[in-house]
């Protein structure tokens, strides 16, 4: 069984995806970390993010055993990942791994920006998680403060709006809800309420199948 979760930056899809996977006993993959890891390779080697060929080579040889590295979670790495994720060769290089991950038994939860539309178009359940930019910026601001990163709220909000624009307008796998996805707006939901709502959607989909 595959559960695809898509949505913009800081919408809560990663936290929700992990919690659903833990509850269901499924594997979980935050696909955004793959792109952050590729960007981290380029930055560590002093290669400009604009070097598409180098980004593709880094994606093809990516070591996925270090996706839990703390340095991948920062705001700067998120911005860098948003840049290289627009490169088709990078997405092509990572696609096979994501699809293979989704075939695990008894199931897998994958979250990202093109899971329901490109990576796993035949997923059993597709969720599109969103929230107002101001709320997403507030959440990200608190998250970064807890990690000791002192970034102004206004800077984060501008970054989120810039990433939304880039993700939604890129020609390669643009961010959008799949035609058969169910949209869940978490603007006024805390983590527990979002989890309950998502679980109810999943249960409802399974009962109809």
Residue pLDDT, tens place only, 7-53 = 998 999 999 999 999 999 999 999 999 999 999 999 999 999 999 99
Q: Collect all residues with Cβ–Cβ distance below 8 Å to 8 and sequence separation of at least 6.
A: 113, 130, 136, 160, 163, 164, 167, 175
Domain boundaries, the chain: 2-208
Evaluate whether 94 touches 88 at the Cβ level (below 8 Å): no
Predicted local confidence at residue 26, as pLDDT: 97
H or E element at residue 33: helix 32-44
Residue 111: φ, ψ to 5°: -125, 145
pLDDT digits over 48-67, tens only? 999 999 999 999 999 999 89
Across the beta sheet with 182-185, the strand order is 27-30, 108-112, 2-6, 125-130, 182-185
pLDDT at 205: 82
Q: How confident is the model at residue 150 (pLDDT cuts 50, 70, 90)?
A: confident
Residues 79-104 as b/e (b if ≥16 CB within 10 A, e otherwise) read: bbbbbbbbbebbbebbbebbeebbee
The alpha carbon torsion through 41, 151, 166, 11 (nearest 10 deg) reads 100
Q: What percent of the chain has pLDDT over 70?
A: 100
- Report the binding-site residues for ATP: 7-15
Amino acid 209: pLDDT: 66
Q: Could you read off the pLDDT of 162-192 as tens digits, one per residue? A: 999 989 998 888 999 999 999 999 999 999 9
For the residues 132-160, what does the mean pLDDT come to? 93
Annotated binding-site residues read 7-15
CATH topology of domain 2-208: Rossmann fold (3.40.50)
Instruction: Examine residue 124 and say whether the peptide bond preceding it is cis (omega within 30 degrees of 0).
Output: no
List the alpha helices (DSSP H) in 48-188.
52-60, 75-84, 88-102, 133-146, 153-169
Give the Cα separation of 193 and 205 in Å (integer): 19
Residue 107, phi then psi, degrees to nearest 5: 175, 175
């Amino acid at each position: 069984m595959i559960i695809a979760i898509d949505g913009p930056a800081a919408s809560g899809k990663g936290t929700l995806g992990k919690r659903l996977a833990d509850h269901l006993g499924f594997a979980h993959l935050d696909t955004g970390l793959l792109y952050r890891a590729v960007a981290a390779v380029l930055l560590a080697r002093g290669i400009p993010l604009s070097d598409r060929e180098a980004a593709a080579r880094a994606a093809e040889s990516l070591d996925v055993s270090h996706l839990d590295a703390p340095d991948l979670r920062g705001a700067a790495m998120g911005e860098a990942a948003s840049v290289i994720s627009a490169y088709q060769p990078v997405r092509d290089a990572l696609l096979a791994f994501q699809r293979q991950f989704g075939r695990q038994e008894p199931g897998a939860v994958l979250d990202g920006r093109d899971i329901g539309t490109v990576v796993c178009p035949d997923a059993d359940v597709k969720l599109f998680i969103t929230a107002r930019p101001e709320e997403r910026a507030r959440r990200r601001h608190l998250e970064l403060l807890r990690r000791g990163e002192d970034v102004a709220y206004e800077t984060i909000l501008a970054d989120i709006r810039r990433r939304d624009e880039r993700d939604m307008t890129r020609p390669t796998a643009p961010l959008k809800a799949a035609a058969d996805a169910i949209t869940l707006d978490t603007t006024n939901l805390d983590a527990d309420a979002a989890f309950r709502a998502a679980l109810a959607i999943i249960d409802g989909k399974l009962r109809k199948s």
